[in-house]
């Protein structure tokens, strides 16, 4: 007998219609499709921070509108995923649940448990990565801990990357189950609503596609050099869209390779850009094999660092009042827009860890709450990279000098002037720590390990 019960498509961080294998497979079955998003309260999952909740609110609205244009709907439910899905299966008579995979420890455990308990067929797919974390292995069958050989192996598997088209129509169930109202989830901040500066973003699949197209038509030329300059608009700003799966890495890959094939963009620029996607892949590979990276140093020994507890200095860092203009500009950009340029993230993070000798996990948590692209794999791995305890990390004795970094990467001071307009006046604070002293202190603390 052919099973004709509805298929539940459980959206998680794949908030798009195109290149979405769970949705495409459900639609191709010809059975009714019930799209659902669950505000998941399963224990062991890291809850999204404030900026991510803002983004999620907008992205879900965009996804719901796109589904409605296909004659479908997005059902919203809140609670532990197992209980919500069991209830949905009972209410709708669904005989299958499809989803796209996630790779952090809490999600992997949850999904494995669901496969055992749900009274329906379950199928999972890859929408988030170019390679699955377990597919890229060393010659001896181990996972990688160094980026360059990882990327050589991973890239070698990407000769033929395919993208699935978006569906034009979805079959509806005879009766739609109830849905929560999105506004009741209160994802958008109120009292105070601090999100005014976030209007620079357009969450959702259409916004993601426009970002990619604009980047490839306007900014990829010179990306290899210019990507380190916070004062010019040279990077894609795709990171929040990729995090929420409004666009997938296969789509970015194919669009970039198509452009490269026309010869309109230089290979040094397209390859550099693709290798940044490679870092995203590598960090997911590391996270999958080391699920504890958000809380534990990957390299032993770092547990003995005499981290300082300094609430006043930490607060000055979060508020962009350290007296180091590049650090302060970055921290204010972050607070205002939910984003910070990659070069400045490195300098600001290094300042917290090395100049202030404050545990990288405190910085990681602040970024988690304030970044619109906050991502467990990328945030934790990059903080560990800066601190020196991560996979393939920056050497511990490398202490960025915020002043020379500013001279090199913001040579006209335009970025600093934009975010720290009082710089150079008596209103700007003096440095909260002396660079030479802080450098010596960091080297002594880290060198003693
Ligand atoms: P582009 O230069 O256009 O790069 C394209 C894509 O490649 C990005 O969208 C991103 O998905 C990926 N990418 C680029 N650089 C990196 C990198 N260093 N590591 C992993 N992937 C990368 N990125 C996040 O997505 N989420 C985070 O929570 C996050 N936290 C970070 C914390 C620190 C301390 C540091 C130093 C970096 C962090 N990054 C994080 C990485 C990087 O800063 C951002 O991905 C990048 O700035 C996003 O801008 P973009 O999309 O314009 O990048």
Tokens for 325? 């203009």
Q: What pLDDT is attached to residue 141?
A: 96
Ligand 1: centre distance to CA 379 (Å)? 8
Among 224, 232, 342, name the best residue to mutate to test ligand 1's pocket (greatest count of ligand atoms within 8 A of Cβ). 342
β pairing state of 96-100 and 121-125? parallel
Top-confidence residue, 393 or 71: 71
Ligand 1: centre distance to CA 145 (Å)? 19
Tokens for 344? 């400045």
- Establish whether residue 239 lines the binding site of ligand 1, counting it when its CB lies within 6 angstroms of any ligand atom: yes
Ligand 1: centre distance to CA 414 (Å)? 22
Closest residue by CA, ligand 1 atom 15:
276
Does the pLDDT at position 302 exceed 90? no
Q: What pLDDT is attached to residue 20?
A: 98
- Establish whether residue 73 lines the binding site of ligand 1, counting it when its CB lies within 6 angstroms of any ligand atom: no
Span 131-157, average pLDDT = 97
- Establish whether residue 128 lines the binding site of ligand 1, counting it when its CB lies within 6 angstroms of any ligand atom: no
3 state SS for the chain: CCCCCCEEEEECCCCCCCCCHHHHHHHHCCCCEEEEEEEECCCCCCCCCHHHHHHHHHHHHHHHHHHHHCCCCCEEEEECHHHHHHHHHHHHCCCEEEEECCCCHHHHHHHHHHHHHCCCEEEEECCCCCCCCCCCCCCCCCCCCCHHHHHHHHHHCCCCCCCCCCCCCCCCCCCCCCCCCHHHHCCCCCCCCCCHHHHHCCCCHHHHHHHHHHHHHHHCCCHHHHCCCCCCCCCCCCHHHHHCCCCCHHHHHHHHHHHHHHCCCCHHHHHHHHHHHHHHHHHHHHHHHCCCCCCCCCCCCHHHCCCCCCHHHHHHHHHCCCCCHHHHHHHHHHHHHCCCCHHHHHHHHHHHHHHCCCCHHHHHHHHHHHCCCCCHHHHHHHHHHHHCCCCCCCCCCCCCCHHHHHHHHCCCCHHHHHHCCCCCCCCCCCCCCCHHHHHHHHHHHHHCC
Question: Binning pLDDT at 50, 70 and 90, where does residue 301 land?
Answer: confident
The whole-model pTM stands at 0.98
CA-to-CA distance for 82 and 104, rounded, in angstroms? 18
CA-to-CA distance for 38 and 212, rounded, in angstroms? 28
CA-to-CA distance for 19 and 162, rounded, in angstroms? 9
pLDDT digits (tens, 9 = 90+) for 204-234: 999 999 999 999 999 999 999 999 999 999 9
**CA gyration radius for the chain?**
23
- Establish whether residue 375 lines the binding site of ligand 1, counting it when its CB lies within 6 angstroms of any ligand atom: yes
Among 151, 354, 373, name the best residue to mutate to test ligand 1's pocket (greatest count of ligand atoms within 8 A of Cβ). 373
What average pLDDT does the structure give for the chain? 96
CA dihedral for 270, 339, 373, 395, sign (positive or negative): positive
CA-to-CA distance for 235 and 219, rounded, in angstroms? 7
Q: What pLDDT is attached to residue 300?
A: 78
pLDDT digits (tens, 9 = 90+) for 45-86: 999 999 999 999 999 999 999 999 999 999 999 999 999 999
- Establish whether residue 353 lines the binding site of ligand 1, counting it when its CB lies within 6 angstroms of any ligand atom: no
pLDDT digits (tens, 9 = 90+) for 164-173: 998 889 999 9
Ligand 1: centre distance to CA 366 (Å)? 16
- Establish whether residue 337 lines the binding site of ligand 1, counting it when its CB lies within 6 angstroms of any ligand atom: no
CA-to-CA distance for 11 and 23, rounded, in angstroms? 9
- Establish whether residue 380 lines the binding site of ligand 1, counting it when its CB lies within 6 angstroms of any ligand atom: no
In angstroms, the Cα distances linking 5 to 1, 94, 275, 361 are 12, 5, 43, 47
Q: What pLDDT is attached to residue 3?
A: 66
Ligand 1: centre distance to CA 239 (Å)? 6
Among 382, 384, 386, name the best residue to mutate to test ligand 1's pocket (greatest count of ligand atoms within 8 A of Cβ). 382
Q: What pLDDT is attached to residue 299?
A: 86
Does the pLDDT at position 179 exceed 90? yes
pLDDT digits (tens, 9 = 90+) for 363-391: 999 999 999 999 999 999 999 999 998 88
- Establish whether residue 237 lines the binding site of ligand 1, counting it when its CB lies within 6 angstroms of any ligand atom: yes
Closest residue by CA, ligand 1 atom 37:
382
Does the pLDDT at position 1 exceed 50? no
Question: Binning pLDDT at 50, 70 and 90, where does residue 304 land?
Answer: confident
Ligand 1: centre distance to CA 351 (Å)? 18
CA-to-CA distance for 419 and 23, rounded, in angstroms? 42
Name 97's bridge partners: 8, 122
Contacts of 410 (CB under 8 A, 6+ apart): 229, 230, 231, 326, 329, 416
Q: Which ligand 1 atom sits nearest the alpha carbon of residue 368? A: 28
Does the pLDDT at position 195 exceed 70? yes
- Establish whether residue 383 lines the binding site of ligand 1, counting it when its CB lies within 6 angstroms of any ligand atom: yes
pLDDT digits (tens, 9 = 90+) for 124-143: 999 999 999 999 999 999 99
Tokens for 211? 């970002």
CA-to-CA distance for 293 and 284, rounded, in angstroms? 11
pLDDT digits (tens, 9 = 90+) for 13-57: 999 999 999 999 999 999 999 999 999 999 999 999 999 999 999
Question: Binning pLDDT at 50, 70 and 90, where does residue 396 land?
Answer: confident
CA angle 400, 340, 442 (to 5 degrees): 25
CA dihedral for 383, 408, 406, 238, sign (positive or negative): negative
Q: Are 150 and 29 in contact (CB under 8 A)?
A: no
Crossing angle of helices 267-289/147-156, nearest 10°? 110
Q: Residues with catalytic annotation?
A: 276, 279, 307, 342, 360, 383
- Establish whether residue 374 lines the binding site of ligand 1, counting it when its CB lies within 6 angstroms of any ligand atom: yes
Does the pLDDT at position 2 exceed 80? no
Closest residue by CA, ligand 1 atom 30:
379
Token pair 């505000």 is found at 39
């Amino acid at each position: 007998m052919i099973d004709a019960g509805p298929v539940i498509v459980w959206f998680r961080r794949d908030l798009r219609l195109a290149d979405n294998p769970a949705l495409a497979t459900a639609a191709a079955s010809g059975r009714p499709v019930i799209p659902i998003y669950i505000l998941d309260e399963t224990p062991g999952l890291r809850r999204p921070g404030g900026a991510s909740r803002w983004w999620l609110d907008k992205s879900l609205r965009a996804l719901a509108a796109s589904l409605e244009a296909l004659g479908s709907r997005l059902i919203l439910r809140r609670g532990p995923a197992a209980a919500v899905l069991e209830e949905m299966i009972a209410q709708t008579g669904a005989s299958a649940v499809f989803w796209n995979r996630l790779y952090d420890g809490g999600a992997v455990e949850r999904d494995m448990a669901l496969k055992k308990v749900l009274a329906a067929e379950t199928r999972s797919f890859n929408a988030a990565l170019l390679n699955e974390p377990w597919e890229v292995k060393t010659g001896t069958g181990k996972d990688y801990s160094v980026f360059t050989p990882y990327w050589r192996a991973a890239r070698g598997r990407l000769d033929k990357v395919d993208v699935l088209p978006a569906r034009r129509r979805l079959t509806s169930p005879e009766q739609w189950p109830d849905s929560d109202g999105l506004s009741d989830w209160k994802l958008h901040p109120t009292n105070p609503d601090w999100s005014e500066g976030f209007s620079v973003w357009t969450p959702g699949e259409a916004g993601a596609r426009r970002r990619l197209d604009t980047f490839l038509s306007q900014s990829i030329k010179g990306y290899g050099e210019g990507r380190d300059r916070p004062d010019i608009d040279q990077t894609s700003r795709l990171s929040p869209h990729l995090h929420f799966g409004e666009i997938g890495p296969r789509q970015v890959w194919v669009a970039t390779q198509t452009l490269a094939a026309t010869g309109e963009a230089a290979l040094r620029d397209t390859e550099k850009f693709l290798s940044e996607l490679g870092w995203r892949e590598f960090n997911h590979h590391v996270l999958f094999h080391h699920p504890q990276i958000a809380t534990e140093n990957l390299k032993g020994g770092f547990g003995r660092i005499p981290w300082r507890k300094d609430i006043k200095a930490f607060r000055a860092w979060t508020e962009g009042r350290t007296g180091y203009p590049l650090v302060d500009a970055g921290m204010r950009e972050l607070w205002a827009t939910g984003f910070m340029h990659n070069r400045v993230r490195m300098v600001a993070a290094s300042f917290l860890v090395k100049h202030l000798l404050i545990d990288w996990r405190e910085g990681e948590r602040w970024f988690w709450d304030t970044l619109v692209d906050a991502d467990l794999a990328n945030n934790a791995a990059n903080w560990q990279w800066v601190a020196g305890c991560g996979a393939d990390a920056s050497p511990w004795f490398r202490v960025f000098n915020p002043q020379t970094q500013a001279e090199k990467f913001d040579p006209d001071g335009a970025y600093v002037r934009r975010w720290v307009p009082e710089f150079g006046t008596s209103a700007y604070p003096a440095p909260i720590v002396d660079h030479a002293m802080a450098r010596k202190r960091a080297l002594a603390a880290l060198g003693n390990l």
